[in-house]
Amino acid sequence: MSGSADESRPDVDALRAAADTMRAVRERCVWSQRITHRDLVPYLIEESHEVIDAVESGTRDDLREELGDLLWQVLFHAAIAAQDPDDPFDIDDVAATLTEKMVRRHPHVFGDEVATTPEEVLIHWNAAKAAEKRTRRSVLDGVPRGMPALALAQKLVGRAAGAGVTVPQSPVAATPASEAEVGDALLALVATARAEGWDAERALRERLRLLEDEVRGAEAD
């Protein structure tokens, strides 16, 4: 299959059709009617990992299909949210909020600012993000703790640096020289943990809790 689904049906808004399909499923499928945001979390995680697999080792068809499955999760959450009796919102509200935020964070595209390098783009992005998050009191606020430990570690190390807390790196002699060597080193550490009967995931999460304490202590000083 090549091209987009809209080429043979230019009169069809594919995204709107997908949203309408989801709404019909939510209204008419007895299984879908009972699903909550919390119920969907495992599916969201699974579909996200399937997209990653498609990016890393799949075909173009795999990627297109998995992106669609991930989009279905977004549409599903929006359909559930639209039925909330106290604070409803739908997929159009989600899209509008996203568009407003992305326009705000790209003043070099939609405004008068100038960015000629990726580094300058990040300056604008971080400035806009900081202005949006003025109510946050810590650099750790907003970091999702449900992330896998390794991804969480990379995020927290970066946030810690913003608070002036530096995490020691490996000794120079053992410092990996490439991303592949980082993978080798991590795999070796996991193998060591397994041989010793240690839980590598738990070990990293417990160390990250100590790092969070260090960061909050530095912010309080």
pLDDT digits (tens, 9 = 90+) for 91-139: 999 999 999 999 999 999 999 999 999 999 988 888 887 787 776 678 7
Backbone angles phi, psi at 57, to 5 degrees: -145, 10
Both tokens assigned to 163:
């608070």
Please state the rounded mean pLDDT for residues 173-190.
85
Helix (H, G, I), strand (E, B) or coil at 67: helix
pLDDT digits (tens, 9 = 90+) for 182-191: 888 888 888 8
Please state the rounded mean pLDDT for residues 79-89.
96
Average pLDDT, the chain: 87
The pTM of the full predicted model, rounded to 2 decimals, is 0.69
pLDDT attached to residue 132: 76
Q: How far apart are CA 133 and CA 188, in angstroms?
A: 39
Contact 147, 202 (CB under 8 A): no
What letters, b where the CB count within 10 A reaches 16 and e where it falls short, cover 151-165? ebbebbeebbeebeb
pLDDT digits (tens, 9 = 90+) for 31-55: 999 999 999 988 998 999 999 999 9
Which residue, 73, 32, 31, is CA-closest to 50? 73
pLDDT attached to residue 9: 58
Query: Which of 7-21, 78-92, 102-116 shows the lowest per-residue confidence on average (mean pLDDT)?
Result: 7-21
Q: Where do the H-state alpha helices sit in 58-178? A: 60-82, 91-104, 107-110, 118-132, 149-162
